[in-house]
Chains A and B, each alone.
Chain A
Amino acid sequence: MNAIASLGSELLSLLTPTMIFHAAWSTLLGIVIGSLPGLTATMGVALMTTLTYSLDSTTAILVLLCMYVGAIYGGSRSAILLNIPGTPASAATSLDGYPLAQQGRAGYAMGLATAGSMVGTLVGIVLLVMIAPPLAEAALNFGSFEFFWLAVFGVVISGQLTADTTPVKGYIAGILGLMVAMVGSEGIHAHIRFNMGFSDLNGGIGLIPAMVGAFGFAEVLNAMWGRAGVLATAKDKSDRIIPKLADLWRYKVTSIRSGIIGTLVGIVPGVGEDIGAWASYVAARRTSKEADRYGKGSYEGLTAAETGNSAVVPGSLIPAITLAVPGSASSAVLIAALFIHGIRPGPLIMIEQPQFISSVAAMLILATLFMGFYGLTLTRAFVQVLRVPYAHLMPVVFVLCVIGTYALSQRIFDIWVMVGFGLVGFLLRQMKYPMAPLVLGIILGDLLDKSLRRGLTLSDGDLTPFFTRPVSAAFVLLIAVSILANIGFVRRRISQLLARRNRRDA
């Protein structure tokens, strides 16, 4: 009851003309960024972080959250109209959205996607308010030993789940991120490490330049490398836009289930919105009475995919706020933005700012309302946005990458870092290395380093407490199982054992 009262009061406090104005433009900009293939939600949040330096922390976080919610939703526009997902999160949406558009029901598909996204975000918000406070309180008991394993768990799971082909590439990306975090002054004795003689590296490699490079410049290169530079072939195929209540009611179970799946997927570090959408889509098809319609223009499939990816947004904020371990690449950027704006996500958040979780939930509700409003009223305008050619879009994006990176500490060196990470990020992406673990590694590197050394100092060099304390032991077990399950011969051996047991039982 307290949580609901707190949420209500935070929502009321946001209903000022200034806040509504900021929520309105940032959600709209998020939808535009999300709908343009080549620009992702992570990139949008990273670029927007650099544009919110001068705003007060509440307004800045509102803008970033609205941008995040809008961008994840916006990807569905181009997925439905062009069969090109605006963000990877919308790949599942295009499976049924595009066939519906081809059948002349693009408007209705977009309306249904809007309704699904709203339901998904709202389910996620409810779970955020329910799960985050107890999780933060439980995390208050964490010590150096537990934080060390938490950091390892974040990088391992992220590396494993986001890798396209082999988890080894995910692990490598994570370790590369951790290595980047080792550069500069370390957190315990302030000893300078790996500065290669450059005094600019004494403070370490900035998270924002690295992220803007890996997600911004790398995406500019990727977009110009892969496509002809002129994107727009979208035709306005809008029909009825407002979804029928009967359709919404018919898919209520699918919506709620997809919302829960999306939120739970969001909680797992580094997994992201695309996995949330696919997991929801697959679960819906498995239990559907109209499974044969999936992929051919199923309303249910479209609803499941959109509800699933939107629910990941609040879900990914649960570990991000309570443990400072991001649930998705975008929330990794969001954590960096929170630090920049003076908010320290982590277990202490419930002590330092007990109302913060309610405040975030209220901001998400505001973003959801604007998302619904734009989604149902500006369908035709979004079709026009999709006609912007890359030749005009990408130079503007790169200018924002450069000036946004420079603006934080006003050092030309940060622009060089951004460019370096952009070039390396492009090459790594072409070789199927995921970028999310790299960013997670940079974020979690300091925590991992300090926790391991502090823990070892506390135990006088004894490793035992890292394995015997209950939470640490649980993390070790989880990490070991998830790594072993990806080793070929272990997997084969387990399936042989299971098959043998099944034969014996039979």
Chain B
Amino acid sequence: MQMTMADRLMAGVLGALGLAMAVGGFRMDRLEFRQIHPASIPGLVPMILGGLMVICAVLLWREASRGADRDPVLADGSWLRLGLTAGTCLVYALILVGWLPFLWSTGIFVFAFAAIFGWPENGDRGARVKAVVGAAILAACTAFGTSILFSEVFLVRLP
């Protein structure tokens, strides 16, 4: 996708967000029962910000229509690596942490991440064993290290 197209899409999203913010600010409680000054209503700044965002969205759309920046977006990297990274990180942060004890969730995540990305595709059996052992050692060190650091030194109750 070209930047011009991405900017147009973004302008639409931001325009809607700005509009929602402005409407949200306008409909917000005016706190009349507390007899506060009308100039200090909680919705004032959100309304202004919403308006400003709509203006910026229009400016972005205009610039995109002129085709000022035709660079490709999300084109110079690997979708596979990004997907694997996001997937492993999200599974760890949103599912494993809080479900399993922190030590185990961290150990599993670090091992999986290091093994997946350190896997020697064209390597021999020895290189693969080395990669897996390396991932396991890193996982154990990270899991124990962070657990001890946060629970014993910083006195944090781990998830």
Contact surface of A with B, Cβ cutoff 8 Å: 51, 53-54, 165-166, 168-169, 171-172, 175-176, 178-179, 182, 186, 188-189, 191, 193-194, 217, 220-221, 224-226, 229, 389-392, 394-396, 398-400, 402-403, 406-407, 410, 412, 415-416, 418-419, 422-423, 430-432, 448-449, 452-454, 456-457, 460-461
Contacts and interface: CB of A to CB of B under 8 A. Distances in A.
A415 B73 contact: no
Given A189-B36, A430-B74, A166 B53 contact: no
Contact of A410 (B36, B37, B156): B156
Interface string B76-116: 11100110111011101110011000100010011001101
Given A220-B85, A396-B138, A407-B156, 20 more contacts: A165-B68, A166-B63, A172-B14, A172-B60, A188-B40, A191-B42, A193-B42, A221-B85, A224-B84, A226-B77, A389-B117, A389-B118, A392-B114, A395-B109, A395-B110, A396-B110, A398-B93, A399-B109, A406-B97, A430-B74
A149 to B, nearest CB: 14
Given A182-B46, A431-B3, A391 B114 contact: yes
Nearest to A448: B45
Nearest to A164: B69
A175 to B, nearest CB: 5
Contacts of B142: 395-396, 399
A166 B11 CA distance: 14
A430 B63 contact: no
Contacts of B156: 53, 403, 406-407, 410
9 contacts: A179-B46, A179-B49, A224-B81, A224-B84, A226-B77, A395-B142, A399-B110, A419-B90, A452-B45
Given A453-B40, A457-B37, A172 B56 contact: yes
Contacts of A456: 37, 39-40, 44
Contacts of B57: 172
B24 A194 contact: yes
Interface of B: 3, 6-7, 10, 14, 17, 21, 24, 28-29, 31, 34, 36-46, 49, 52-53, 56-57, 59-60, 63, 68-69, 73-74, 76-78, 81-82, 84-86, 88-90, 92-94, 97-98, 102, 106, 109-110, 113-114, 116-118, 134, 138, 142, 146, 149-150, 153-159
Contacts of A406: 97, 156, 159
A225 B77 CA distance: 5
The 6 closest A-B CB pairs, nearest first, are: A456-B39, A391-B117, A225-B77, A395-B113, A391-B118, A224-B85
Contacts of B98: 412
Nearest to A398: B89
A407 B56 contact: no
Contact of A189 (B34, B92, B93, B109): B34
A271 to B, nearest CB: 21
Contact of A179 (B53, B85, B138): B53
A394 B146 contact: no
A168 B60 contact: yes
Nearest to A419: B93
A321 to B, nearest CB: 26
B81 to A, nearest CB: 5
Contacts of B150: 403, 407
Contacts of B63: 166, 168
Contacts of A189: 31, 34, 36, 40, 42
A272 B29 CA distance: 40
Given A225-B77, A399-B109, A412-B159, A166 B68 contact: yes
A407 B154 contact: yes
A54 B154 contact: yes
A94 to B, nearest CB: 19
Nearest to B89: A398
B29 to A, nearest CB: 6
Among A168, A193, A422, A461, residue most surrounded by chain B Cβ atoms (within 10 Å): A168
A169 B116 CA distance: 36
A403 B93 CA distance: 9
Nearest to A400: B146
B39 A415 contact: no
A398 B44 contact: no
Contacts of B86: 221, 423
A182 B22 CA distance: 12
Given A399-B106, A416-B94, A449 B45 contact: yes
Contact of B134 (A169, A225, A392, A398): A392
B93 A431 contact: no
A186 B41 CA distance: 10
Nearest to A52: B154
Contact of B118 (A392, A400, A415, A461): A392
Contacts of A168: 56, 59-60, 63
A457 B3 CA distance: 44
Contacts of A392: 114, 118, 134, 138
A403 B102 contact: yes
Most buried by B among A395, A396, A422: A395
Contacts of B106: 399, 403
Contact of B76 (A169, A194, A226): A226
Contacts of B155: 54
A226 B79 CA distance: 10
Contacts of A54: 153-155
Given A395-B113, A419-B89, A225 B78 contact: yes
B115 to A, nearest CB: 8
A399 B139 CA distance: 11
Nearest to A407: B156
Contacts of B89: 217, 220-221, 398, 419, 422
A51 B156 CA distance: 11
A191 B45 CA distance: 13
A399 B155 CA distance: 17
Nearest to B134: A392
